[in-house]
Amino acid sequence: MNNRTITIALDAMGGDGAPAIVVYGAKEALKRNPNLKFHFYGQQASVEPLLCEAGLHDDERCTLIACTDVVKNDDKPSNILRSGTKTSMAQAIRGVHEKQSDCVVSAGNTGALMALSMFTHSRIPGVLRPAIATYFPTIRGESCILDLGANVECDAQQLAQFAVMGEVFGSITLGLDRPSVGILNVGTESIKGHPEVRAARDILQAAEVLHDFRGFVEGTDISEGKIDVFVTDGFTGNLILKSAEGTAKLIAHYLREALANSLGGKLLYLLGRKRLLQFRARVDPRNYNGAVFLGLNGISVKSHGSADARAFANAIDVAADLTQYDLVSKIGERIGMLREAINSDKTMSAK
Amino acid sequence: MNNRTITIALDAMGGDGAPAIVVYGAKEALKRNPNLKFHFYGQQASVEPLLCEAGLHDDERCTLIACTDVVKNDDKPSNILRSGTKTSMAQAIRGVHEKQSDCVVSAGNTGALMALSMFTHSRIPGVLRPAIATYFPTIRGESCILDLGANVECDAQQLAQFAVMGEVFGSITLGLDRPSVGILNVGTESIKGHPEVRAARDILQAAEVLHDFRGFVEGTDISEGKIDVFVTDGFTGNLILKSAEGTAKLIAHYLREALANSLGGKLLYLLGRKRLLQFRARVDPRNYNGAVFLGLNGISVKSHGSADARAFANAIDVAADLTQYDLVSKIGERIGMLREAINSDKTMSAK
């Protein structure tokens, strides 16, 4: 299975450092996994010289597909759907839909990538709404979280589906057979929270389709890595992720100030530079790059817009793993099991 | 105004380190503000020796009110309301209601403190629901956030009231004439978010009662300190706060590991100990201690349960400030203005 060739469509024009980070990210990913193939969707004049520079222009695993247009960071998703069919992003996603490639990676406009992915790929049968998932560092190792903003309002059925899709995502990205799954709430007692989280908990408990469902978990459990997959609505998930990124920046800022404001501090900084850089690498979001739209008949991976080549290579790895371990068909299978359980007597009382 | 004597009821039995942290916290607060008076509500046998030890037993500013019972950390709020009238926490809150003291500070069970405060003090006329607010460090300085968990579901009118109460809280705790206020959302564009946040924004824009309303703000703006007062529902606010605390712990954990895992790291740690401790102080939650229930006819300040004396003294300072600058009557006034604006033509289209 590890020898399977995976073809990845790359939006070579998306992200602050594109197209260079895309080309060099692909080069780095190829070193780790020589069985990858890349379709670079981008403007020939800017991408071709980079492929030459990186020594990938005559690599048979790399193909350039020339596109005339580019999605800008401030383009509205609605405009993109109307007029963006010739953009590198739209063409790359279409390449997946037409089976020329297995999945797509883009560091471009998130809203556009979501809109184009939803428009191009149909939803997996039975999936109510797609969700955005990612993985992140914890004290224990790594965990996953969803939804990060695809759905600002979620009912109980949607949250229950997110738990099932998140379990599949977690099992692949974390390499676990039975990832533990929980629903984020303001407390772990069964009476806590609003009706939607309580009903989602009831559905999942009655349906018994998750391998290791832990009920409610709290905000402090996230960084502790108490469970493997954290489930929440897109409003809360987006704010948790962004505020945690902000907290990490704040602490780095304080640390820099503490070390810079005196001779002793400067000496300390010089002496400890290597150690501090190692520390920084562990909290660097580039090492946890790659958010995924779950629930569609196609794999679209979103890289941070500010990704460098190494971070982009990580997003490519995520896309390759999700393809290799059949994310789409596994989600279809598990969502089918959830729906069956809900339609049977099992969850009648929980509905 | 600074010479006004403020009498503070202290729940001497609440918190992991009680009653010692309460007694020594009061002593520290007295050094900073000699015009404070304290009513210590607690078990005589344990509190009296500590008052002697701290040299406060014959200080006329300190009075011990003997109570037989104590609220435990795992007591359910509903039980407390039925049977907890003789607890130090209930007696301390009653002391405020009966005007023997101006406000209460407790490091005990949060749910019990909220339930007893709501039960003892009526709501300020016009206030739909009380909210929990606190302040926290940012890159720019300090900001406030509410609600932190009093209300897991909030409609637009409640969110608009939180903004008004948060402005009053922010102006006192941050010492600002015109604190800027914004509503947390998944993006700043006007179409973003769910109907409740959009309607709350419309109400506040039409009502024009806030001095500096900034509309929507994002999760990354929190640690940046982009505005002074962040408004959100209690579900999201609770998860943001707890996950940010978790992130800070995670980073401290990584930093310790990075510094401890080698001889060089250990040397660095020894050399830089003072600097690192300074850094730690800036992210130490004890320095930002004191959450407040807004919207009640009485001031109840919640200290962290794990507070030490210094942290508890900070919570006392918060309580003294809120008393001195008339939190309750100012909230009453501003909520009245909001209601008037809503009932006038101003917000007809926004309702």
Chain A residues touching residue B239 (CB < 8 angstroms) = 184, 186, 218-219, 232, 236, 239-240
- Measured distance CA(A142)–CA(A138) in Å, rounded: 5
The minimum CA-CA distance between A151 and chain B, rounded to whole Å, is 9
Cβ–Cβ contact B53 with A under 8 A? no
Cβ <8 Å between B242 and A220: yes
Q: Where are the beta strands (DSSP E) in B28-130?
A: 36-42, 62-66, 103-106
Token digits for A156?
Answer: 């109980």
Cβ <8 Å between B240 and A235: no
Cβ <8 Å between A138 and B250: yes
Cβ <8 Å between B246 and A221: yes
| Cis bond upstream, residue A137 (ω within 30) | no
Cβ <8 Å between A275 and B267: no
Nearest chain A residue (CA) to B255: A279
pLDDT at B117 over 60: yes
Nearest to B243 among A139, A240, A254 (CB): A240
Name B94's Cβ contacts closer than 8 Å, sequence gap at least 6: B120
- Measured distance CA(A253)–CA(A245) in Å, rounded: 12
Nearest chain A residue (CA) to B224: A246
Cβ <8 Å between B240 and A255: no
Cβ <8 Å between B236 and A234: no
Cβ–Cβ contact B267 with A under 8 A? yes
pLDDT at A216 over 70: yes
Query: Which candidate, A162, A174, A172, places its Cα nearest to that of A210?
Result: A162
What pLDDT does B75 receive?
A: 87
Residues 90-119 of B with CB under 8 A from A: none
- Measured distance CA(A232)–CA(A201) in Å, rounded: 11
- Measured distance CA(B101)–CA(B257) in Å, rounded: 47
For residue B9, how far is the Cα from the chain centroid?
Answer: 16
Nearest to B222 among A192, A246, A282 (CB): A246
Q: Give the pLDDT mean for B325-337.
A: 97
Parallel/antiparallel/unpaired status of strands A131-137 and B36-42: unpaired
Cβ <8 Å between B239 and A271: no
Using an 8 Å Cβ cutoff, are A219 and B246 in contact? Answer: yes
What is this model's ipTM?
0.86
Q: Give the pLDDT mean for A240-258.
A: 80
pLDDT at B167 over 50: yes
Token digits for B198?
Answer: 């959009």
Starting at the earlier edge strand, list the strands of the sheet with A36-42: A62-66, A36-42, A6-11, A103-106, A299-302, A291-294, A131-137, A142-146, A229-231, A180-184, A212-217
What pLDDT does A1 receive?
A: 45
Give the number of beta-carbon pairs within 8 Å between A and B: 174
Question: C-alpha distances in angstroms, A67 versus A319, B72, B115?
Answer: 22, 67, 63
The minimum CA-CA distance between B139 and chain A, rounded to whole Å, is 6
Chain A residues touching residue B272 (CB < 8 angstroms) = 259, 264-265, 268, 272
Identify which has the larger pLDDT, A39 or B279: A39
Q: Give the pLDDT mean for B9-18.
A: 95
Mean pLDDT of chain B: 90
Cβ <8 Å between B239 and A236: yes
Strand partners of residue A133: A146, A292
Burial of A68 (0-12, 13-18, 19+ CB in 10 A): exposed
Nearest to B283 among A221, A244, A251 (CB): A251
- Measured distance CA(B127)–CA(B111) in Å, rounded: 20
Least confident of A64-73, A139-148, A272-281: A272-281
pLDDT at B78 over 50: yes
Q: Give the pLDDT mean for B138-158.
A: 93
Cβ <8 Å between B247 and A247: yes
Cβ <8 Å between A250 and B139: yes
- Measured distance CA(B174)–CA(B298) in Å, rounded: 20
Cβ <8 Å between B186 and A235: yes
For residue B327, how far is the Cα from the chain centroid?
Answer: 13
What pLDDT does B98 receive?
A: 97
Cβ–Cβ contact A196 with B under 8 A? no
Q: Give the pLDDT mean for B17-35.
A: 96
Token digits for A59?
Answer: 């690599």
Q: What's the first-to-final CA gap in chain B, in angstroms? A: 40
B233-243, pLDDT tens digit by residue?
999 999 998 88
Cβ–Cβ contact A238 with B under 8 A? yes
Query: Which candidate, B118, B34, B33, B112, places its Cα nearest to that of B70?
Result: B112
Cβ–Cβ contact B232 with A under 8 A? yes
SS3 state at B42: strand
Q: Which DSSP helix (H) or strand (E) runs through B136? A: strand B131-137
Residues 116-175 of B with CB under 8 A from A: 137-139, 149, 152-153
What pLDDT does B287 receive?
A: 66
> How much is the pTM?
0.90
Least confident of A23-32, A163-172, A256-265, B163-172: A256-265
Token digits for A316?
Answer: 């490519």
Parallel/antiparallel/unpaired status of strands A299-302 and A291-294: antiparallel
The minimum CA-CA distance between A72 and chain B, rounded to whole Å, is 17
Q: Residue A285 CB: number of other CB atoms within 10 A?
A: 18
pLDDT at B217 over 90: yes
Q: Give the pLDDT mean for A31-37.
A: 95
- Measured distance CA(A247)–CA(B225) in Å, rounded: 11
Confidence class for position B246, pLDDT limits 50, 70, 90: confident
Identify which has the larger pLDDT, A13 or A85: A13
Using an 8 Å Cβ cutoff, are B25 and B313 in contact? Answer: yes
Cβ <8 Å between B246 and A224: yes
| Cis bond upstream, residue B147 (ω within 30) | yes
Best to test chain B binding among A239, A263, A288 (most B CBs inside 10 Å): A239
Name B67's Cβ contacts closer than 8 Å, sequence gap at least 6: B13, B41, B42, B43, B86, B87, B88, B91
Identify which has the larger pLDDT, B280 or B289: B289
Using an 8 Å Cβ cutoff, are A102 and A33 in contact? Answer: no
Cβ <8 Å between B246 and A137: no
Cβ <8 Å between A184 and B239: yes
Chain A residues touching residue B253 (CB < 8 angstroms) = 139
Query: Which candidate, B330, B322, B331, places its Cα nearest to that of B103?
Result: B322
- Measured distance CA(B44)–CA(B21) in Å, rounded: 16
Chain A residues touching residue B246 (CB < 8 angstroms) = 219-224, 244
Q: What are the phi and psi torsion angles at A268 (to 5°)? A: -55, -45
User: HEC states along chain A?
Assistant: CCCCCEEEEEECCCCCCCCHHHHHHHHHHHHHCCCEEEEEEECHHHHHHHHHHCCCCCCCCEEEEECCECCCCCCCHHHHHHHCCCEHHHHHHHHHHCCCCCEEEECCCHHHHHHHHHHHCCECCCCCCCEEEEEEECCCCEEEEECCCCCCCCCHHHHHHHHHHHHHHHHHHHCCCCCEEEEECCCCCCCCCCHHHHHHHHHHHHHCCCCEEEEEECCHHHHHCCCCEEECCHHHHHHHHHHHHHHHHHHHHHHHHHHHCCHHHHHHHHHCHHHHHHHHHHHCHHHHCCEEEECECCEEEECCCCCCHHHHHHHHHHHHHHHHCCHHHHHHHHHHHHHHHHHCHHHCCCC
